[in-house]
Chains A and B, each alone.
Chain A
Amino acid sequence: MLHYTIRRLIAIIPVLFIVSIIVFMIVHLTPGNPAYLILGEDSSPEAIEQLEQQLGLDKPKVVQYFDWLRNVFVGDLGESIYSEQPVSQIIAERIGPTFSLMIISMLLTLIVAIPTAIFIVWKRNTVLDPIFLSGSLLGTSIPEFWLALLLVFGLGVTVPIFPVAGYVPITDGILGWLHHLLLPGIVLAAVEIGLIARMLRDSMLESVNQDYTKTARGKGVKESTVLIKHVFSNALIPTTTVIGVTIAGLLGGTVIIETIFTIPGIGQLLIDSIHRRDYPVIQGVILFIAFVYVIINLIVDLLYAFLDPRIRYD
């Protein structure tokens, strides 16, 4: 297990290195001169040159990259051009809402998807199964923004149970926090529930007629125990990958949802920064999102080993 963990950790290093190059290139190779955009159309060439010097934009790209990378290593992501605050500080301020939203929607997803999948597999030879399949397809097909608007209209405006926008930190009370995040959480979860329940159902059906379930039934074990204990524990292994990818994908989903519900999270920060051409922040946020992606994948890999002894003891 230790060996496996170390191997996984080492595998991260090249990934992060490549990510850093891509992030740097995305910002620096796209057309448009940041200094020019910051200062505006009427600026003089001298002022632009001066700002370029100040930002280090006149140096060769390779030198710029290594300067930037050196700073990233010590946690210095530069300063925002717009607010002149350190980028790391800006990101830190915006993590809370985004992570809250991710956690809420993930919990909602798992709470609904797991029992649904188990129930459907239990009733696998009934009409419920095709109904479930259409339902999950519908769930994954609904565009997030459309569902968001529908829910805002229904549960925010027509029957005003939930606030239509805004965010309350958890430190100001868990109820207010939950109250503000439930609607966007449901929107994000709707897509994932369909996907994960479907995936779990498929892997459970695959394992429901495996020989080891015969052994379990042959012991006189109840069908519900066979499903929940023997089938589910095996089906969870491939599903974990999908859950991991989903959590990471939520980061992308939050960009839209945070904008609709005006939640001051990472996604909104990214959109705003792109509008402002605040490239140190853009760089920082993309790098941060990539980093979270990598970490989630690492956790999935470790979870894999936890769930599957064949990997753990390899």
Chain B
Amino acid sequence: MNKGFAIDCIGYALFAVFVVLIIPWLANYSGYDLNVYARYLVLGMAAAAVALSWGTAGILNLGQALTFGIGSYIMAMHLKLKASEAQAGGMPDFMGWTNMEELPWFWEPFQSVSFTLAAGILIPVAIASLIGGFMFRGRITGVFVAIITLSLMLAVQLWIISEQRFTGGQNGLTGLAALELFGWSVDVYGLAFYYMVAGCLLVVLTLALLFLRSKAGLVLRAIRADPERTRFFGYDVSTYEVVAFATSAGIAGIAGMLYAMILGFASPTYMGLSLSLAFVIWAAVGGRESIVAATLGGIGVNMAEGRLSDLFFDQWTLILGVIFIVVVLFLPRGLFGLVMDLRIKLESHFMANPISRMNTSLDKHRSETTASQREGK
């Protein structure tokens, strides 16, 4: 816990500079490109959510897109209501097509911006706490967590597709209005919106890093290594797991809300198997042990996809598949692992040599003296 704090801060500061200064410059400050990069940032945030529970606590959540999708639907519901104000009874158009008489009760509260913003975080957190409590109190681990989260996501996705009169079904929620915050009508193609997304990302990552840097993060790492042993030191492992799981769900919820704004619609594919596994894979490419690396993985893969899919058309997906296989085979800790290995090599090359030599001689000295001290006791 004590070590490497300065280096991590420098790394994070570089990341912040990249997000705040370099990306807008890369995008030429032009609206369309800024919107695209904002999307990458949001997908990076989703990858960070995966890394938070997987890389730290060892909980592989294959259903991360569930909470992401719920976040996006919550935001879309609010924006849809806003767009439908002129309609009869303020009802969204698709409800009229399915002969709904009045707005369903659970749509009502989403008229309010503040309720929507709170719900976009708290509902994913609540769902994750419930399902997490259900799983982790039963000491479910590893592949079983993966299957349960995956099944739940598919079940909810099926429900959303089938209940067209409430959810817009397969089409999702389209034709959304612009969000209005404190009288500011958000233009998703503007620089201001990009900075709002970047700000959300940096705040979320900072808070998450604080959490992981604290002793709670250390306990999570201990749990990943040996949950049984951690219990015998008095830590309630399942509560820690639920907290990590729910925190990552909250982050995914925020990402989902932003995503619905950026693309201007919410769709059942947001909680699909492909997107969910893509989150996991981006986190793996960047490095699951660090949420910043996972974010960069998400941003990087999507940036590459944006550039290369123009060049290779359909073959891009093929290339992506090959990259994933290669990363899993040869870089199990992702690009972050590669960087860390380099750092350790550099450290031992430039500085640690004389110190470690000193240490070993001290060691000898110490083991002799302490041994005799203890003899004397």
Are A and B physically bound partners? no
- Where the two chains meet, the residues of A that have a C-beta atom closer than 8 Å to any C-beta of B are none
